[in-house]
Amino acid sequence: MHILPIKIYYEDTDAQGVVYYANYLKFFERARTEFLREIGYKQKELMEKGAIFVVREVSVEFKKPASLDQQIEVHTQIIKAGKVSFDFNQEALTKEGNLLCGGVIKCGCLALKDFKPKALPSKLYQGMKSLL
Amino acid sequence: MHILPIKIYYEDTDAQGVVYYANYLKFFERARTEFLREIGYKQKELMEKGAIFVVREVSVEFKKPASLDQQIEVHTQIIKAGKVSFDFNQEALTKEGNLLCGGVIKCGCLALKDFKPKALPSKLYQGMKSLL
Amino acid sequence: MHILPIKIYYEDTDAQGVVYYANYLKFFERARTEFLREIGYKQKELMEKGAIFVVREVSVEFKKPASLDQQIEVHTQIIKAGKVSFDFNQEALTKEGNLLCGGVIKCGCLALKDFKPKALPSKLYQGMKSLL
Amino acid sequence: MHILPIKIYYEDTDAQGVVYYANYLKFFERARTEFLREIGYKQKELMEKGAIFVVREVSVEFKKPASLDQQIEVHTQIIKAGKVSFDFNQEALTKEGNLLCGGVIKCGCLALKDFKPKALPSKLYQGMKSLL
């Protein structure tokens, strides 16, 4: 499982005093980017090869809010790796391990030129498979 | 059904050239705010009375991307109104009516002071009920 | 002078309860986009022709904060139109005309392919000139 | 001088393929927060004591764009420490030391309850003074 530590800044919060709900999806995307980097892929290199990853579906429950200056963690686990799509289980937790929010993020690979489904580079596909 | 027109600006897009996925949740939140305003409630007034709305769960599918300068619409429909929680069906569509993304957003009412569940103001609850 | 009304949503605010300072620059950019649209240019069309506008310099004073649900206005006035650069005076004000923040935003035109300075399309240059 | 490393994610970029201009101000704010943390202050603790920091003025030049997956640094130096206001010189640079953007950020201390100027906690004022 991949773990990304994240610190909460003013930009992440809203007038309720806690993290704005959509921003957890930013944190999840940062974590997926780092997860891919760790298995050898940079989003930018993929884009230069004409492939982009997109989110096809999110299903997330929000349990507790994180607040300013809090140090949290995003846990990322790949749970499905197909030829053109792949799914993650992602959770944001406090340092003490309390669940803030979490759920399933379904992603797909598209061709940058026409946004049509495109097979994952095979080494990336193998890398994901090996982590299932 | 409530309809909110939204224009796509640079701030909404990312390096893929289209709207960043988490930003649709911002658009949905703007639309829920306007929906509430239309049935007589301002988020700020509610907050001053000690009640806040939070998102408890999102379940959204992303079908097609919106891009810079595009004019889109967010359609918002209330599908459940309980004493402390209420659910919306929300969709982002092109002006021509093509689905960009959509799903169910489950919300709850909390007390601002302790983030514990709190009954909706009864007029708001009645207002929501009447729109089911 | 171009006037763009803007409503403040949760996404615009932070844990101080007011609009996060960097977000006024988003509002200013929305207003410049609408200003350009009014004199006949869409940022996306320009980009498709290989030209992009970038901000070269900002100099902004923050006087008073805007808060949730507030309706504000962004006033935009072109104050210099050169061959490859152009400057705006932009202000955010309350509906009653009280200054929230404002200053000078200096922009430039670049070629998308290499980010090198590029002459403005001449009709756009003329359009800006006529509004000085 | 305080140095904060920052990685560029999709959320930071826009359809021009590079970092959206207002987001550098987010990076600068993250860096000021870390700067304060290093001299012993958390923004949240200050807020709980009724003091908040706000930006009074920004004057920033944008020289070169940062792009997706780039690792950059924000350099922060305090250049003035007054009783109720303090100024920073902040720059974003590539890892190789090339300037991306930079300028002066003038901040102030306010009382949270009425947004009126308020003296900095004296230990914080002394801490800042010692770094001039």
Asked if C80 contacts C86 with a C-beta cutoff of 8 angstroms, the reply is: yes
Query: Which chain C residue is nearest to residue D106, measuring alpha carbons?
Result: C61
Angle, vertex CA A97, rays to CA A93 and CA A103, nearest 5: 40
Answer whether residue A6 shows pLDDT above 90: yes
Asked if A53 contacts A93 with a C-beta cutoff of 8 angstroms, the reply is: no
The mean pLDDT of C90-96, rounded to a whole number, is 97
Answer whether residue D45 shows pLDDT above 90: no
Query: Which chain A residue is nearest to residue B47, measuring alpha carbons?
Result: A16
Within a 10 A sphere around the Cβ of B125, how many other Cβ atoms? 17
The mean pLDDT of D104-123, rounded to a whole number, is 93
Measure the CA–CA gap between C54 and C86, rounded to whole angstroms. 10
Asked if B67 contacts B18 with a C-beta cutoff of 8 angstroms, the reply is: yes
pLDDT of residue B121: 87
Answer whether residue C43 shows pLDDT above 90: no
Answer whether residue A46 shows pLDDT above 90: no
Answer whether residue D47 shows pLDDT above 90: no
pLDDT of residue D43: 84
Q: Which of A23, A28, A46, A62 to mutate to test the interface with B (most CBs of B within 10 A)?
A: A62
Per DSSP, the residues of chain A read -EEEEEE--GGGB-TTSBB-TTHHHHHHHHHHHHHHHHTT--HHHHHHTTEEEEEEEEEEEE-S--BTT-EEEEEEEEEEE-SSEEEEEEEEEETT--EEEEEEEEEEEEETTT--B-PPPHHHHHHHHTT-
pLDDT higher at B13 or A122: B13
Query: Which chain C residue is nearest to residue B18, measuring alpha carbons?
Result: C44
Of the candidates C37, C49, C40, the one whose C-alpha atom is nearest the C-alpha of residue C123 is: C40
Q: What is the DSSP letter of D97?
A: -
pTM exceeds 0.95: yes
The mean pLDDT of B53-59, rounded to a whole number, is 97
Give residue C48's pLDDT band: very low, low, confident or very high (50, 70, 90): confident
Parallel/antiparallel/unpaired status of strands D99-111 and C51-62: unpaired
Q: Which domain holds residue B123?
A: 2-130
Answer whether residue B41 shows pLDDT above 90: no
pLDDT of residue B2: 96
Chain C closest-CA separation from residue A129 CA (Å):
37
Beta partners for residue A99, in sequence order: A93
Of the candidates C23, C3, D69, the one whose C-alpha atom is nearest the C-alpha of residue B11 is: C23
Nearest-by-Cβ selection for B69 from C9, C26, C44:
C44
Query: Mapping DSSP to helix (H, G, I), strand (E, B) and coil, where does residue D14 land?
Result: coil
CATH of the domain at D53: 3.10.129.10
The mean pLDDT of D78-87, rounded to a whole number, is 95
Within a 10 A sphere around the Cβ of A132, how many other Cβ atoms? 10
Contact across the interface for D59 and C62, Cβ inside 8 Å: no
Counting the structural domains of chain D, the total is 1
Query: CB within 8 A of D40, min separation 6: which ones?
Result: D123, D124, D127
The mean pLDDT of A55-74, rounded to a whole number, is 97
pLDDT in tens, B62-90: 999 999 999 999 999 999 999 999 999 99
The values of phi and psi at residue B41, to 5°, are -125, 135
pLDDT in tens, D2-27: 999 999 999 999 999 999 999 999 99
The mean pLDDT of D105-119, rounded to a whole number, is 94
Measure the CA–CA gap between D120 and D118, rounded to whole angstroms. 6
Query: Positive or negative CA dihedral for A103, C8, C90, C1?
Result: positive
Give contacts of B15 with chain A, Cβ < 8 Å.
Answer: 47
pLDDT in tens, D59-69: 999 999 999 99
CA B29 to chain centre: 4
Mean pLDDT (chain C, rounded): 95
Q: Which residues of A are catalytic?
A: 14
Give contacts of D22 with chain C, Cβ < 8 Å.
Answer: 22-23, 25-26, 29
pLDDT of residue C95: 95
Percent of chain B, pLDDT > 70? 100
Give contacts of D17 with chain B, Cβ < 8 Å.
Answer: 15, 17
- Cα–Cα distances (Å) from C7 to C4, C101, D80, in that order, read 10, 15, 35
Answer whether residue B49 shows pLDDT above 90: no
Pull the structure tokens for residue D74. Answer: 């924000």
- Cα–Cα distances (Å) from A120 to A28, A83, A109, A124, C80, in that order, read 20, 6, 6, 7, 49
Mean pLDDT (chain A, rounded): 95
Answer whether residue B48 shows pLDDT above 90: no
Pull the structure tokens for residue A92. Answer: 């944001």
